[in-house]
Structure 1
Amino acid sequence: MREEVLLIRETKEGVQILLHVQPRSARRRIDGVHGDAVKVRLTSPPVEGKANAELREYLASLLGVAKNDVEILKGETGRRKRVFVRGVDGDTVRKRFGL
């Protein structure tokens, strides 16, 4: 088991994922691991919630869930975030993230 799979914690209702978000990138993508978090690059600036909105939309699209199923639990104003995604399991997240 690779170390990064431990960054995804399964619960009864979904998964919690530790993320390091880099706004204002050339394109949005999952970019491996940054320290102890999954690195996500976004194109939006971190202004007025734009990067958070793009993060929710991107994760929902990538994982095949509704935007309402993606919730930022911690870190709304920072790069380091803990998100909860309802309705998916850890294996699905690992596969779609390429981990």
Structure 2
Amino acid sequence: MTSYVRWDADDLILLCHLQPGAKHSDFVGLHGERIKIRLNAPPVDGKANNQLIAFLSKAFAVPKHAIQIESGELSRQKRLRISKPNQIPERPEFKHLVI
């Protein structure tokens, strides 16, 4: 298992590095020991966190309430919990994960 993503029972723990204010939201690759995610929302008034939750909700096919920011709410470095993901994005960073 990699350091940026791991299973905790049925939940997926994701360590990420955010780049808010990008032209579009997408997984970019790795940034050190974290997966880098670009977000098309600015880092003000919780907009980037809301966009992150919406983006991951779609990517992992779960409702928004199934995603929790466990740490780093005010930081670019975040630890997230995705409860019972229904799909894994087709990205090289996630190729080793199986539901």
Q: TM-score, normalised by structure 2?
A: 0.86
1:40 partner SS: strand
Paired position in structure 1 for 2:97: none
Higher helix share: 1
- Of the three residues 45, 48, 51, the one matched with 1:51 is 48
Q: Does 1:69 align with 2:69?
A: no
Matched AA of 1:22: Q
Structure 2: give runs of 5+ residues left out of the alignment: 94-99
Q: Does 1:10 align with 2:12?
A: no
Matched AA of 1:35: G
Q: How many residues align?
A: 93
Q: TM-score, normalised by structure 1?
A: 0.86
Matched AA of 1:24: G
1:28-84 residue CA offsets vs partner (Å, 9 max, x unmatched): 100000011000000100101000000000000011000000100000001000000
Root mean square deviation, CA, Å: 1.7
Paired position in structure 2 for 1:96: 90
Identity of aligned residues (%): 31
Structure 1: give runs of 5+ residues left out of the alignment: none
